[in-house]
Amino acid sequence: MAVAGVLGVAACGGQIAANTPASNGNNFVSGNGTSSYFKAGSRLAAPAVSGSTLSGARLSLSSYRGKVVVINFWGSWCAPCRSEAPTLAVLSEQYQSKGVRFVGVDIRDSPASARAFVQNFGISYPSLNDPADEIALAFRHTVPPAAIPSTLVIDRNGQIAGRVIGQTSYSSLGNILAKVTAGG
Chain segment 2-42, per-residue pLDDT in tens: 333 333 333 233 344 433 333 333 444 456 678 889 999 99
| Helical packing angle, 79-95 and 170-181, nearest 10° | 40
Q: Could you give the CA distance from residue 68 to residue 177 in angstroms, rounded to a whole number?
A: 8
CA distance 74 to 84: 10
- Distance between CA atoms of 115 and 1, rounded to whole angstroms? 23
- Using DSSP's 3-state secondary structure scheme, residue 125 falls into coil
The residues, ordered by sequence, that sit 6+ positions from 179 with a Cβ below 8 Å of its Cβ are 37, 161, 162
Listed by start position, the domains of the chain span 31-181
- From 2.40.50.140, 3.40.50.1580, 3.40.30.10, 3.90.1150.10, which CATH number describes the 31-181 domain? 3.40.30.10
pTM above 0.85, yes or no: no
pLDDT in tens, 51-86: 999 999 999 999 999 999 999 999 999 999 999 999
